Structure 1
Amino acid sequence: MSLSKRAVDLLGAVLLLLLLAPALAALTAAVAVSARGRVLVPKRCTGAGGRPFRMLAFRVAPGTRTGRLLHRHYLDHLPQLVNVLRGEMSLVGPRPLPVDRIPADSARARTSVRPGITGLWQTGGRSGLPWEEMAVQDLHYIREHWLGMDLMILARTVSTARRGRPVRAAAGAPPARVPRPQGLRQA
């Protein structure tokens, strides 16, 4: 990873944590009231170099108003800014997958960079994308990423989070406005 990418990650995470501190405090209180157990749920994921780490997220109680709000607008991911500060994640990169979910054929490429809070496929079809398309998008990002691409993805992430994700994409339905990388062959 380049020094400029790490510098943007650190600066961005610190600024976002400072700017969002009141909102994070309110979300923490709302989660504590609506969900039993811990407010933060660590998920064991695979990071750069294949090293496992504990990715932080707010606990989402599915049947509650708070849970729906957190999930729909990706607010449950905000604690991952701490993972960025620790150097376990980047602001932008392939989404980390649980250690038991990474297929062998894409594991090496996916773990060649730090996983990100957001990435190319999250700003397109998100959960409506099949695994193969998500892998194509992540591999394109790994090969082609540069600071301008990261800034574009971050801007699109803000827009995507404001709109919110659909409750559930229909099975087999094509995702809306997925950016198809040019000249990229299916793996």
Structure 2
Amino acid sequence: MIRIFDLLFSILGLIFLSPILIITLIIGWFDNGSPLFSQTRIGRYQRSFILFKFRSMPVNTLSVATHLVKNTKLTTFGKFLRNTKLDEIPQLYNVLKGDMSLVGPRPCLLNQKRLISERKKRGVFKVKPGITGLAQVTGITMKNPKLLAETDAKMIKQINIFNYFCYIFKTLF
């Protein structure tokens, strides 16, 4: 049932947000010359996939978790994208493709070994990663891998259609 909602909302989102996607691509091109960002992430069953976002940092930024990047500033437009969460819109394509769900644990990077270990212990990789989830709506970040993995596991145990919609609405509003 959740996959049906993922498909429906990602298709509708891509259609209705297409003017914003196009405008963001154009502004992003002028801001940094490369508006889209792709990065290998870990998904369900620890299979890697390519995640898409709008670029918010300079093109030459290291491919590590944001909190580990030293001396790197968001681009001017990147600040706006991050504050409005518009940088996440291209992930609707990942949801449409089936790599992600709208709700699930945020996909981690291949080099986040501690988080991967903590998630393995708790069975978090049994589900698709998501754009939002319990950790995001409660402000838990990848800075604390153990707490994040515990929160992800808690969300997975409690996920149902009601919680699915709650996480989406809490993220949007």
TM-score normalised by length of structure 2: 0.83
Question: 1:104, 1:73 → 2: CA distance?
Answer: 31
Select 1:99's aligned residue among 83, 104, 110.
Answer: 110
The SS at the match of 1:127 is coil
More helix by share: 2
Q: Which one-letter code corresponds to 2:8 in the other structure?
A: L
Question: 1:113, 1:127 → 2: CA distance?
Answer: 19
Cα displacement (A) at 1:142:
1.1
Per the alignment, residue 174 of structure 1 pairs with none
Matched, 1:42 2:42: no
**Count of residue pairs the alignment pairs up:** 155
Per the alignment, residue 181 of structure 1 pairs with none
Structure-to-structure mapping, 1:82-97, within 5 angstroms? 82-97=93-108
Matched, 1:16 2:29: no
Cα displacement (A) at 1:126:
4.1
**What stretches of structure 1 of length at least 5 have no aligned partner?**
160-187
Question: 1:17, 1:63 → 2: CA distance?
Answer: 25
Cα displacement (A) at 1:16:
0.8
Select 2:3's aligned residue among 6, 26, 31.
Answer: 6
| CA-to-aligned-CA distance 1:45-79 (integer Å, 9 cap, x gap) | 11111110000011113453311001122211110
More strand by share: 2
Select 1:130's aligned residue among 144, 163, 171.
Answer: 144
Q: Which one-letter code corresponds to 1:123 in the other structure?
A: V
* Aligned-residue CA RMSD (Å): 1.6
Cα displacement (A) at 1:151:
0.2
Q: Which runs of 4 or more aligned residues in structure 1 lie more than 6 Å from their structure 2 counterparts after TM superposition? A: none
Q: Which one-letter code corresponds to 1:55 in the other structure?
A: L
Per the alignment, residue 77 of structure 2 pairs with 66
Q: Which one-letter code corresponds to 1:103 in the other structure?
A: I
Work out the percentage of aligned pairs sharing the same amino acid: 31
Select 2:25's aligned residue among 24, 28, 35.
Answer: 28
Question: 2:164, 2:102 → 1: CA distance?
Answer: 8
Per the alignment, residue 51 of structure 1 pairs with 47
Cα displacement (A) at 1:129:
6.4
Q: Contact 2:133/2:167 (CA < 8 Å) preserved in 1?
A: yes
Per the alignment, residue 150 of structure 1 pairs with 164
**What stretches of structure 2 of length at least 5 have no aligned partner?**
58-72
Cα displacement (A) at 1:135:
1.7
